[in-house]
Structure 1
Amino acid sequence: MGHQGSRSERRISSVFIGIVAIMVVTGWAVWTGYSTSTGLAVFLAVTSAWIVSLCLHEYAHARTALHSGDLSVGSKGYLTLNPLKYTHWLLSIVLPVVFVILGGLGLPGGAVYIEHGRIQGRWKHSLISAAGPLANVAFAVVCTAPFWLDALDGVPMPFRFALAFLAFLQVSAAILNFLPVPGLDGYGVIEPWLSYRVRREVEPLAPYGLIGIFVLLWIPGVNAVFFDVVQGVLSGLGVSELDRWCGLDLYRFWQESDGVCAVQD
């Protein structure tokens, strides 16, 4: 009976399967040019792929916590990859998607609720926090594989641009998440190594960490440095700024294109 319950707790949800199906179908439409609106197909493919990556981010936290001693993640539904099961589904899924649509930026979401009292060892706590953004790193490596493997021959331009923009979202999310700011995973990595006094003083700031990052990114100088860092990582993976920009241009199908990418499309 317990074994059956364990298996049901880890069964991939139909909601996640549905999102993956949308990603595959719309990705195929971008590749083949089947859709009457390439921009709409890119929008649906990238948005669904972004949601898939957010689910994998949260799953990575939960799965690592499970193997570290927190068996409660199963009963909470975190291992099913169902975005509706997350404690902060608004922060974990909805807001990151809204940020992508409005600003074209991969902002991190809220994390699953881990019962840290069940876990022994500082390294385990750090690894649980790092697992989420590492999932984004892995997603970015997969998205950019055709670029750094120099295997872009035969890849349709719209699909190439969509991959570049999706990679940008993953890299920006990973970098932001790894910042040692209260409330973000980067702080969760170093928190176990801080003194009790420091942790108590910093704890009230956690709900405002993401807001603070968002405000800082509105400062032109900070914004420029951040995007330079993200593009530097992408360039190292073979993705040019033009590829990324054209991906964003296609993604925002509701806006009039500036024409730079229209020829390639």
Structure 2
Amino acid sequence: MTTAATRRSDRRISPVFLGIAAVTAVTGWAVWTDFAAQPGIAVFLFVTGAWIVSLCLHEYAHARTALHSGDISIGAKGYLTLNPLKYTHALLSIVLPVIFVIMGGIGLPGGAVFIERGRIRGRWRHSLISAAGPLTNVLFAVVCTAPFWLDALNGVPDTFRYALGFLALLQVTAAILNFLPVPGLDGYGVIEPWLSHSFRRQVEPFAPFGLLAVFGILWIPGVNEVFFDAIHAILRSLGVTEWDTYWGQEFYRFWQGTPEIPVVTQ
């Protein structure tokens, strides 16, 4: 009976996650209804809250897939509770991604779920565990862009549209960047089981720096321009314009003041 209770507690959704989700819902409502006196603060809390929720689900997807692939230690580590404080490296999974968003509008979650790979058999399972996280971001991107390509935003306050557009940009960038085959990112984890043992040992020391290296390279103007041109091309195909994402980011940076959106005349 004690064991069963422990297993249930291992899977119970954390109050921390529920609190973050509640803040996201309330501030999303405030943006949706144009209720907030300071729309920038509401947009910041809504987008940041939704971003953290997606980060938690990103890590949860890794953990849940690992559990079903043979790592039965996952539950005891608290990964299935969606509590961001249970991650092995809360700095990499939560703090740094939020800082990246604030600094450059780049969605880049970092892996922080410790998986006992020795318990898992089969290269395909290892690859699927690594792919599960960014696939969650793909799903989030579809959800965030659905109102745009379904033309379901008529009558919705522009501020909410912009916030949703910016959130969609974060999810698309997170999915693409995480699938890069760079040590330390999920994309490398997908192909790693198929590489030779000697090559993996040579690359292993660089894994802790992969995330920061990618972020640093994206600060190079030429690389940044090409990257975001590709991102905006994807978003345009989904109905999200650069106007939406630009003003979403401007509202998000509430400390710069409420942006004055120019009136577009026909």
Indicate the TM-score class for this superposition, using the shorter chain for normalisation. over 0.9
> Which deviates more, 66-75 or 104-113?
104-113
Q: Name the residue aligned to 1:215.
A: 216
| Closer, same or farther: CA 34–256 of 1 in aligned 2, 3 Å | closer
Counterpart code for 2:216: V
Identity percentage of aligned residues: 71
**How far is 1:99 from its partner?**
1.4
List 4+ stretches of structure 1 deviating above 6 A. none
Q: Aligned partners of 1:244, 1:137: CA distance in 2, in Å?
A: 17
> 2:94·2:109 contact (CA, 8 Å) conserved in 1?
no
Distance 2:4 2:44 in 1: 41
Q: In structure 1, what is the equivalent of residue 179 of structure 2?
A: 178
The question of 1:61 aligning with 2:83 is answered: no
- The 10-residue stretch of structure 1 (221-230 or 181-190) with the greater mean CA deviation from structure 2: 221-230
The one-letter code sitting in structure 1 at the alignment partner of 2:210 is: G
* Structure 1 partner of 2:199: 198
Alignment partner, residue 137 of structure 2 = 136
Rounded Cα–Cα distance in structure 1 between residues aligned with 2:255 and 2:35: 19
Deviation larger for 129-138 or 145-154: 145-154
Q: Distance in 1 between matches of 2:120 and 2:8?
A: 22
SS of structure 2 residue aligned to 1:245: helix
Residue 102 of structure 1, CA deviation:
2.0
User: Cα distance, 1:111 vs. partner?
Assistant: 2.5
Instruction: Provide Cα deviations, 1:191-214, integer angstroms capped at 9, x if missing partner.
Output: 000111111111111011112112
Q: 2: distance between equivalents of 1:107 and 1:138?
A: 15
Contact 2:40 2:254 in 1 (8 A): yes
Residue 12 of structure 1 aligns to a residue whose secondary structure is coil
Give the corresponding residue for 1:145: 146
SS of match in other structure, 1:72: coil
Q: Which amino acid aligns with 1:252?
A: R
CA 1:262/1:89 → structure 2, altered by over 3 Å: closer, same or farther? farther
Deviation at 1:154, TM superposition (A): 2.0
Partner Cα distance (1:38, 1:61) in 2: 35
Distance 1:172 1:60 in 2: 18
The CA deviation at 1:113 is 0.5
Q: Which residue of 1 aligns with 2:84?
A: 83
Q: Which secondary structure does the structure 1 equivalent of 2:114 belong to?
A: coil
- Residue in 2 aligned with 1:238? 239
Residue 252 of structure 1 deviates from its aligned partner by 0.8
Report the Cα distance in structure 1 between the residues aligned to 2:262 and 2:257, rounded to whole angstroms: 11
Question: 1:30 aligned to 2:18?
Answer: no
CA gap of 1:207–1:151, structure 2 versus 1, over 3 A, is same
| Residues 145 and 240, structure 2, Cα contact 8 Å, conserved in 1 | yes
Note if contact 2:39-2:258 (Cα within 8 Å) is conserved in structure 1: no
Shift of 1:108: 2.0
In structure 2, C-alpha distance between the alignment counterparts of 1:47 and 1:100, rounded to whole Å: 9
Please name the residue that 2:15 is paired with. Answer: 14
Q: What amino acid is the match of 2:52?
A: I
Q: Structure 2 stretches of 5 or more lacking a match?
A: none
Structure 1 CA distance for aligned equivalents of residues 263 and 84 of structure 2: 38
Q: TM-score, normalised by structure 2?
A: 0.96
Matching residue of 1:164? 165
Question: What's the counterpart of residue 5 of structure 1?
Answer: 6
**C-alpha contact (below 8 Å) 2:130/2:190 kept by paired residues:** yes
Give me the TM-score of the superposition, normalised by structure 1: 0.96
- TM superposition shift of 1:110: 2.7
Q: How many residues were matched structurally?
A: 263
CA distance in 2, matches of 1:206, 1:253: 35
Question: How far apart are 1:35 and its partner, in Å?
Answer: 1.0
